[in-house]
Structure 1
Amino acid sequence: MAGDGKKLQPIIVKRIKKSGHAAHGGAWKIAYADFVTAMMAFFLLMWLLGSTAKGELQGIASYFQSPVKVSLMGGPGTGNSSSILPGGGRDLSKSFGQMDSGDSERAAKLIGAQMARADQARKDAMRMEALERKISAVIARNPKLSEYGSQIQLEKTPDGLHIQIVDDQQRPMFDTGSALVKPYMRDILREIGAAMGDVENRIALAGHTDATPYGNGDRGYSNWELSADRANASRRELVAGGLPDDKLRRVEGLASSRLLRADAPTDPINRRISIVVMTQEAEERMLPQAAPPPVAAQAHPAAKAVPAVVAPTEAARPMPVGAKPGGAIALPALQISGEVTKFPTQSGG
């Protein structure tokens, strides 16, 4: 066959290699979900804009233009809407939430006063916390005071830091029926006075007795005078320790009107000296309200002259220790709650 002279053509075999298809990703699903969510939000926004009254739209626009001004003065909100709610509802044709310029000024002043009070309360809380730590440290490092630490109570109250020095059956602060300060009580008061020397807040001081009546207290020297004398004696020791006298806002005697243990009126713990380092708010509550001006009245020709009653001053002069019973003591007006319980004993608290 080779001799026929015919040239043989080569046979070409084309083989195609087949490879596996690339894996399909899910990124398009995330993009599609974002698109659907955006479209849903868009159509929801369009529906809300279409169903919202014109007055409400103006109020929303005003809020985003100047939100602080709208919050203080009000604006064209729902009060300007003329739409009627089907099925009843608030009458949107009436003014609601809008303020004139005078009201806005008062509101701004009120907000400013509230912010100032909040800032003052924060400062008072920090001072009370620091003073409590300071007094606790003084008691801890002084061997004399630490021995009587169980009779010194510190407590933070809404009115301020409340310091109470309570009596003990074995270690009384005063002699029975006397305002003479015991030596250890003098040390305690002077150390506390030194610790409170630089405090900015004002201080209220009160003396308390138990419910044991003082002799013929109904007609003469009673627990009221005794508690006032003890409060004044404590005040003198605090001032001697370093407390400025002008820091004292009030010194009073409360007798047994505010028992620490009402279930045991004669318990020695009821005989105590209370010192309150007041917050600014508590001091403002203590300030007397402005009294109305007196009304001038024509005196009757036959009427007798009545001497005027002079109100006691803020710092009433204390009765000296050992004064005779029945002496008058000027004290500020007190609001006393509860009843005074008396027991048939001979000696006072």
Structure 2
Amino acid sequence: MSDLKQVIVIRKKKKGGHGHHGGAWKVAYADFVTAMMAFFLVMWLVGAGTKQQRAAISEYFKNPSMTQGQSTMAPSGKMGPGGASTSMIKLGGAMDLPKGPGDQQAFAKPTTAADAEKQAKAEEKRRLEQLMKDLKDAIASSPAMAPYKDQLLIDITSEGLRIQIVDKQNRPMFDTGSGALKPYTVQILHELAGFINQVPNQISISGHTDSAPYIRADSQYGNWELSADRANAARRTLTDGGMQADKVARVVGLAASVPFDKADPSSAINRRISIVVMTHDAAKAVLSNEVAMTGAAN
């Protein structure tokens, strides 16, 4: 028995065989977080959009293919293949969410001629309102324009944005009985020229006098001629200041026929230059009347 060799058994403890998969949960968690971010982004977009925009998103998820969608409510964009063409998110990642009632109309593409005309008028109105705001801000903040802010009257009429430069008792725009502009009037018109160029609308320029009769020595030159000369001088000064010459649709002299202060026709404020940034309809009416009058004369 002493010759028997003792057998020694060595047991080795094996380590876990799946240790290299220990980080798999991180990938799963990252996928979960990404999915939740996408979900909340979609919910935010749906909550921020209009009824038509939500219909467009719904159509996209129902039919994200190249074939025509079958949504029961028409999306805000034009009818086209698939739903992606009406997405609120532009290619490149730029967000285009509405900022107000006016901006929401930008999503709605016109489906009829009447809709297109309505949308064009709304856009034109916003454009003229923005121009009025820019002008008022510039007058309030510009040291060069500030001294004349009480001589610049800006409002919106049925014809468009009206800018009136009026005389003051001790600060006339023109030399007495002349179409020659004062240096500060030239400065004002040069400032206005750049703003008028910001919009595509055409303009109308009219000259006005007070009711005081003005007759030059030759007796053939009165308030009608004087008001027309002053309106034309304003036109030349605007174009010298950089305004596009083809924006002018009409230049007229109205003498004292349209007083600003009807209660006092002799008031200095009645002596003025009126520049109207016309709406498309107003410009069309002006040109149509001119064509009709030319045709009648022929």
Query: TM-score, normalised to structure 1's length?
Result: 0.50
Structure 1 unaligned segments of length 5 or more: list them: 1-110, 296-308, 311-349
Q: Distance in 2 between matches of 1:131 and 1:293?
A: 34
SS at match of 2:288: coil
Matched, 1:180 2:205: no
Give the 5 Å matches for 1:301-312: none
1:141 CA displacement: 2.3
Structure 2 unaligned segments of length 5 or more: list them: 1-110
Closer, same or farther in 2 for the Cα pair 1:127/1:255, shift >3 Å? same
Q: Distance in 2 between matches of 1:187 and 1:230?
A: 16
Q: Which runs of 4+ in 1 moved over 3 A?
A: 216-219, 289-295
2:207, 2:231 within 8 Å by CA — same for their partners in 1? Answer: yes
Give the 5 Å matches for 1:176-255: 176-215=176-215, 219-255=219-255
Aligned to 1:87: none
Q: Distance in 2 between matches of 1:171 and 1:293?
A: 40
The one-letter amino acid paired with 1:182 is K
Aligned to 1:120: 120
Q: Distance in 2 between matches of 1:270 and 1:175?
A: 16
1:155, 1:163 within 8 Å by CA — same for their partners in 2? Answer: yes
Q: Is the deviation greater in 138-147 or in 275-284?
A: 138-147
The one-letter amino acid paired with 1:275 is I
Q: Distance in 1 between matches of 2:119 and 2:295?
A: 38
SS at match of 2:179: coil
Aligned to 2:273: 273
Q: List per-residue Cα deviations over 1:229-264 (Å, max 9, x = no partner).
A: 101111111111111000111111111110111110
Q: Distance in 2 between matches of 1:167 and 1:208?
A: 10
Closer, same or farther in 2 for the Cα pair 1:176/1:291, shift >3 Å? closer
Closer, same or farther in 2 for the Cα pair 1:292/1:164, shift >3 Å? closer
- Count of residues paired in the alignment: 190
2:249, 2:287 within 8 Å by CA — same for their partners in 1? Answer: no
Aligned to 1:15: none
Task: Answer with 1 or 2: which has the greater Rg.
Answer: 1
Give the 5 Å matches for 1:1-349: 112-215=112-215, 219-288=219-288, 291=292
1:217, 1:223 within 8 Å by CA — same for their partners in 2? Answer: no
Closer, same or farther in 2 for the Cα pair 1:217/1:291, shift >3 Å? farther
1:293 CA displacement: 11
1:138, 1:191 within 8 Å by CA — same for their partners in 2? Answer: no
Structure number with higher relative contact order (C-alpha < 8 Å, ≥ 6 residues apart)? 1
Closer, same or farther in 2 for the Cα pair 1:140/1:116, shift >3 Å? same
2:128, 2:160 within 8 Å by CA — same for their partners in 1? Answer: yes
Percent identity among equivalent residues?
44
The one-letter amino acid paired with 1:237 is T
Q: List per-residue Cα deviations over 1:266-295 (Å, max 9, x = no partner).
A: 100000000000111111222225659989
1:167, 1:270 within 8 Å by CA — same for their partners in 2? Answer: yes
Q: Distance in 2 between matches of 1:280 and 1:131?
A: 16
SS at match of 1:255: coil
1:120, 1:280 within 8 Å by CA — same for their partners in 2? Answer: no
What's the Cα RMSD here? 2.9
SS at match of 1:273: strand
Closer, same or farther in 2 for the Cα pair 1:293/1:200, shift >3 Å? closer
The one-letter amino acid paired with 2:161 is L
Query: TM-score, normalised to structure 2's length?
Result: 0.59
